[in-house]
Amino acid sequence: MKRFLQIAIPMVMVVFLTQSVSGYDPSKHQKSGGGKHGGDKGHHHGYGRPKGPPADIPAHIKERTSPDGKGINLNGSQIGVKGIAIMAKTPELKNIISMALKSNKLGDEGVRILTQSSTFKHLEFLSLWDNGISSAGAQMLARGANFNNLKELNLMKNNLGDEGVVLLADSANVSFLTFLDLSNNKIGDAGAIAIATSPYLHNLKKLDLFNNNIGPKGIEALLQSKTLAGLEELDIVKNNIDIESAAKLGESANLPKLKTFNAF
């Protein structure tokens, strides 16, 4: 099916085939302020911006946990490795399925704690947005037993690079993902091609690759991917491709369910 691209202001190219349909709404647990592709991607959590970790981390964790014990929003709490270690030993979190951990200074060590704790074995929705995670952390996510039921994974604004993305794309832990945000991660063509050729990302419906270093080769691989046949939304805004090349590739896309293609 031929796709018709229209250019909107400011310099936003979007393909609309049908109205966008989404499943789980990440904004329920990872709200914060700003524009969609600004520092906070269009959500506002309303908790203010603390200058450091809370004085009473256990009490803060309890306050931010939903009444049913299945969700926790710690966006911007800056709990650090100390805080995630406390969470890992908190029995009340044993049934947690949704964790929003944006801007908590966790690093790869925080990911290691998440991986090794039996408290988090039911995780389905996980946001690790802006936590200084490198390819080493991506490797832990790829191999960790706590991540094999994930449906939504937000890794926006980390330092995965191509190496980290290759590790994730080659992991059975991403088999159930329907939403994956890898924006702001220094990803190039190698990472995009790894996603496009992954044997595990067949359930993916929404993929965000905003502000990376992907060129025409990588974007073409994504748009022609057999693995991503179920993809409904793709964002490649601010990558290494000009508007004419993006338009041409978008029109020749071979993704039968693609509804929204954000290119510029």
CATH code at 26? 3.80.10.10
Residue 209 pLDDT > 80, yes or no?
A: yes
**Which residue stretches of 7-68 are H helix?**
57-63
Let me know if residue 1 belongs to a domain: no
pLDDT band at 49 (very low <50, low <70, confident <90, very high): low
User: Is the four-CA dihedral 98, 150, 219, 234 of positive or negative sign?
Assistant: negative
Does 31 or 214 have the greater pLDDT score? 214
CA-CA distance, 236 to 238, in Å (whole number)? 6
Residue 22 pLDDT > 70, yes or no?
A: no
pLDDT digits (tens, 9 = 90+) for 170-195: 999 999 999 999 999 999 999 999 99
Phi-psi region of 186 (alpha: psi -120 to 50; beta: other; left: phi over 0): left
Q: What does DSSP assign to residue 17?
A: S
Does 264 or 49 have the greater pLDDT score? 264
Let me know if residue 219 belongs to a domain: yes
Residue 47 pLDDT > 70, yes or no?
A: no
Residue span of the structural domain in which 73 resides: 6-262
Residue 107 pLDDT > 60, yes or no?
A: yes
Let me know if residue 168 belongs to a domain: yes
Number of structural domains in the chain: 1
% of the chain surpassing 70 pLDDT: 81
Pairing relationship of beta strands 179-181 and 71-73 according to DSSP bridges: unpaired
Give the best-scoring range by mean pLDDT among 6-20, 41-55, 224-238: 224-238
The reported pLDDT for the residue numbered 264 is 82
The reported pLDDT for the residue numbered 50 is 57
Residue 129 pLDDT > 80, yes or no?
A: yes
CA-CA distance, 95 to 7, in Å (whole number)? 45
Cα 12 vs. chain centroid, distance in angstroms?
A: 21
Does 81 or 15 have the greater pLDDT score? 81
Report pTM.
0.84
Phi-psi region of 41 (alpha: psi -120 to 50; beta: other; left: phi over 0): left
The reported pLDDT for the residue numbered 164 is 98
Let me know if residue 38 belongs to a domain: yes
